[in-house]
Amino acid sequence: MSNEQHSPLGKAVSYTAEYDPSLLFPIPRSGKREEIGLGSTLPFMGVDIWNAYELSWLNMRGKPQVALARFEVPASSPNIIESKSFKLYLNSFNQTRLTNAEALAELLRHDLSDAAGATVHVELIDTSAFGKQKLAELDGYCIDNLDIDVETYTPAPGILHCDDADSPVNEILVSNLLKSNCLVTGQPDWASVQISYTGQPINRESLLRYLISFRNHNEFHEQCVERIFVDLMRSCAPLKLSVYARYTRRGGLDINPYRSNFNAPQPSNLRTARQ
């Protein structure tokens, strides 16, 4: 469990179409948190919001059923769940007969909570609600049109700095240029990121260069967002800070980590155009 190299990522696997919770592969958060200098007392709270678009099972008469699913894994949980194992687990319901959607939700809730080591919230969206699903972009000022030179493509927190100001500002900045790579396979992960803060103004050009510096960095989604949060706190010391990333879908799943050091309302789970 402690080594992502033992996960199914990057390996040929046989798809299991019968319910099998043992497919879930937890990875402790502690290793990567120690790498960025975090101990047992976290400087943030938050959640990892997962959306599943390929979920199907059989009713008791053998007829296929489909739904969308949303999962919320608390950032305080000791483990993340490796995404390919999550996909394989969800596919294990494909030929599994269940009495109703509530029975499915209960299994999902139990198994995912057991893997994460904390209670995971599960919501199923029935086909009758598919037409109500919306697209929206992240609120905030987009910094992507800044005319900058870029030379660094591995995380460089030293790039970050604040602009001098007499008083703190409340600001929300957004970029669609965040790209990192899977820690195991090296495949690209694409995201939009929203940074909400109160404090000395973060220099926007330095922030954009910093976000772009993740372009050749290998790390899981949740770990990238926590690294961004920690680097911003150390470099710019905002009074309040939230970092929210919406990653594009892979294998029918998207992962959207949120970290904040204050009790802000949890961000909406609206899909962006790229998701």
What are the DSSP E strand ranges found in the chain? 26-28, 45-58, 64-74, 79-81, 121-125, 141-142, 169-181, 188-199, 240-247, 253-260
* Burial of 223: CB neighbours in 10 Å, binned 0-12, 13-18, 19+: buried
For the chain, the straight-line distance linking the first and the last C-alpha, in angstroms and rounded, comes to 29
Query: Between the CA of residue 212 and those of 44, 137, 150, 191, what are the distances in Å?
Result: 23, 19, 8, 11
Closest CA to 65 of 118, 115, 13, 101: 101
* Distance, CA of 144 to CA of 14 (rounded, Å): 42
48, 111, 189, 254: the active-site residue: 189
Q: Are 153 and 177 in contact (CB under 8 A)?
A: no
Q: What angle do CA 58, 64, 68 make, to 5 degrees?
A: 95
Assess whether 189 carries a catalytic annotation. Answer: yes
182, 224, 236, 254: the active-site residue: 182
Contacts of residue 268, Cβ cutoff 8 Å, sequence gap at least 6: 136
Q: What positions carry a catalytic annotation?
A: 182, 189
